[in-house]
Amino acid sequence: MEKYDILVIGSGPGGYVTAIRASQLGLNVAIVEKAELGGVCLNWGCIPTKSLLKSAQVFDYLNHAADYGVTIEGTAKADFSAMVKRSRGVADGMSKGVQFLLKKNKITVIQGTAKLTKDRKVEVTNNEDKKETYEAKHIILATGARSRQLPNLPQDGKKVIGYRQALVLDKQPKSMVVVGSGAIGSEFAYFYNTIGTKVTLVEFLDNVVPVEDEEVSKQLARSFKKDGIDVRTSSEVTAVDTSGKLVKVTIKNKKGKEEVVEADIVLSAVGIAPNIEGIGLEEAGVKIENGRVKVNEFYQTSVEGVYAIGDIVPGQALAHVASAEGILCVEKIAGHHPEPLNYNNIPGCTYTGPEIASVGMTEKAAKEAGYELKVGKFPFSASGKASAAGHKDGFVKLIFDAKYGELLGAHMIGANVTEMIAELVTARKLETTGHELIKAVHPHPTMSEAVMEAAAAAYGEVIHI
C-alpha cells in the first residue's frame, strides 16, 4: 500500500495549490483527480469564461471602433464557434500548466475517483473500475462544487443548461433566459448579450449581483439595460416548458403578475452545490453542518488527520479562498504558525462590462453594525484615464469608520477594477487609514487615482469633482 505524508483529493485551485505548497515544505505528496487537472476553475469556470469575455470585449471594441477614430470597412461578426474553440484552448493550456507544476514539484498524480474508508484510508477507483487503496498521515478534501439545481428548473443539458454547457454550446442561441444574477449569471448574460443574443436576466432578489453594495448593483443594472439586457429583479421563474422548439419560461414579478418569455436556451445560474456526496464522509465519521464540512480555523475536520478546504467548507466559494485555505492548512500541518484567514477581507470580482470588485462591508452592513461612517465616492466620469479609454461608467466607493479612519469596505464598478481591488485588500490587511490612502501618491493618469480621490471625498478633500 502506497503511503504519503499528504494526500489531496481534488486538483482544483484549492487542491493543486495545497499539494505544491506541501511539497515545498518537504512533505511527500499525492493528489487524486477524477477528471482534468486544474478542476472546474481552470477547465470549466474561471479561466474559460474569462477567455469568452475577452472575445466579447474585442467584438464590442470593433463595433465601437469609430468612437476611437478607427474606420473598419464592413461589419464585425461574432464567430461563436471560434470563440468557444479559443476558450477551450486556453483552458487546456492552463491544465497542462498544472500538470507541469505537479511534476516539477514531484507530486504523485493518481487518476480516479477517491473515497474515504472507515479506517481513514483512501480508496481510488480508476476508469477501468479497478480499486486501489492509499494511506496518508494527512488527507485533505478539496472536491469543489457543481451547478446547483432547483426543483422547478431541472437541467436537461440541452434546453435548460448549467454553466458547463454554456461554455461549449454547438451554436450561438438567438435568445436566452439567465436565471440568477450572481457572478456566473451576470458574466454569461454580459457575454451572450454582447455577441448578439437576446438576453433576459431574472433575479429573485431586489438587485442584480445582490451580495454587492446597493449602489454598485444599481449601476450594473443601468449598464446592462443600456446595453439591451432585459433585467427582471424581484422576479422568479415559476415554470419551464421545454416541449416545443422554444423554451417557454413563466416569470412572476413581485406583484404576482406572470409573463411567459420564450427563448432558445435557459441558463440556470442559481449558485453551486458542494461535492460532498459519495466521498465517504459518513463512513469515516466526518461531520457535516448546514450542508458543508465542519472544520476548525486550520481546516481540521471532526476526524483526526482529515482536513477539508474550498467550496465544501463554510466561507466564500472562490478559487483564491480555496488556495489560501490549502496553504494555511499544510503550513499548520508542517509545524508553522500561520495566521487564520480573515474572511472579512476576501475580495470578490465579477468580470462583466463594467467589471465589479469589492472587499469588506457594504454601506448597509456597516450601518447595521453600528458604525458612524465617512463615505467617499469618485465617479470614473471625472477620471482622465477613464475618459481617454472610453470607459466612463462606474465609480470607486470607500467606506470608513469615522472614529478611527479604518477602511471598512471598498466597492468598485468600472473598466479593469478587478485589477485595482488588491490595493484595498492590502490596505485593510495593513490597517491603513483614510488619511494614509489620501497621502499615498497615485500615478496620473490611471484608473487607480480614483481610489485616492474617493478617500479624499470621504474627508472633504477631493480635488477633481
CATH number of domain containing 380? 3.30.390.30
Residue 151 pLDDT grade (very low, low, confident, very high; cuts 50, 70, 90): confident
* Confidence (pLDDT) at 152: 86
Is 128 annotated as a binding-site member? no
* Confidence (pLDDT) at 2: 75
Is 271 annotated as a binding-site member? yes
Is 244 annotated as a binding-site member? no
CATH number of domain containing 245? 3.50.50.60
* Confidence (pLDDT) at 79: 97
C-alpha distance from residue 381 to each of 22, 390, 447 (Å): 47, 10, 11
Residue 19 is placed in which grid cell?
Answer: 499539494
Query: pLDDT tens for residues 48-64?
Result: 999 999 999 999 999 99
- pLDDT higher than threshold 80 for residue 349: yes
Query: pLDDT tens for residues 52-104?
Result: 999 999 999 999 999 999 999 888 999 999 999 999 999 999 999 999 999 99
Same domain for 379 and 454?
A: yes
Same domain for 266 and 283?
A: no
| 153 domain residue, yes or no | no
Is 185 annotated as a binding-site member? yes
Is 285 annotated as a binding-site member? no
Kindly tell me the sign of the dihedral angle through the C-alpha atoms of 334, 338, 343, 346: negative
Helices 319-333, 15-24: crossing angle, 10 deg rounding: 30
Please enumerate in sequence order all residues whose Cβ is within 8 A of that of 190, keeping only pairs 6 or more positions apart, or say none. Answer: 53, 56, 224, 227, 229, 352, 353
| Integer Cα distance of 162 and 185 in angstroms | 10
Domain with 287, as residue range(s), is 2-146+273-343
Burial class for 252, CB neighbours closer than 10 Å (0-12, 13-18, 19+): middle
How many C-beta atoms lie closer than 10 Å to residue 303's C-beta?
A: 16
* Confidence (pLDDT) at 435: 96
Same domain for 372 and 444?
A: yes
Same domain for 136 and 36?
A: yes
Q: Which of 64, 336, 444, 464 is catalytic?
A: 444
Same domain for 281 and 409?
A: no
Please enumerate in sequence order all residues whose Cβ is within 8 A of that of 256, keeping only pairs 6 or more positions apart, or say none. Answer: none
* Average model confidence (pLDDT) across the chain: 96
Residue 391 bears catalytic tag? no
Closest to 216 (Cα-Cα) out of 421, 436, 371: 421
Domain count, the chain: 3
The mean pLDDT of 261-278, rounded to a whole number, is 96
Same domain for 265 and 284?
A: no
Instruction: Provide the 3-class DSSP secondary structure of residue 66.
Output: helix
Same domain for 422 and 404?
A: yes
